[in-house]
Amino acid sequence: MWSQRRVVDYGLAKRAVVRSLHAGQASRGDVCDAQPYLLRAARYFGQPTERLCPVCEKENVTNVTYVYGDSLGRHAGQAKVASELAAMAHDYDEFRVYVVEVCQGCSWNHLTVSYVLGNGPPDLAGQA
């Protein structure tokens, strides 16, 4: 995405959760706790992937994308499809995007990545 910046990848946290599940330090109920709203969002707004669920290893996970930001008004906190993000990046000031992977079979869910979009001011970090 043309204005994507300040990317945070939560892959290490995900691996730690999966590792603790396989080591018996966490139960499946602890990690497979997707709320009904999240499961519905995955069904209607989710983007299917080719990645197997790390817990049940039976179904592919679905990415659900949420947007948050003061400039979004009524759109803040809503699930969006990827095609809507490009238009929103042009139409709105800075806003944050969160991508959650969800298994509709076992209810696994985990935040995978977050980033900032929008036509707000460019990042000045590292510039002198």
pLDDT band of residue 55 (cuts 50, 70, 90) is very high
Q: What is the pLDDT of residues 63-91, one digit of tens each?
A: 999 999 988 888 899 999 988 898 888 88
Predicted structure pTM score: 0.87
Structure tokens at 66: 């949420």
Distance CA 77, CA 27 (A): 29
pLDDT band of residue 5 (cuts 50, 70, 90) is confident
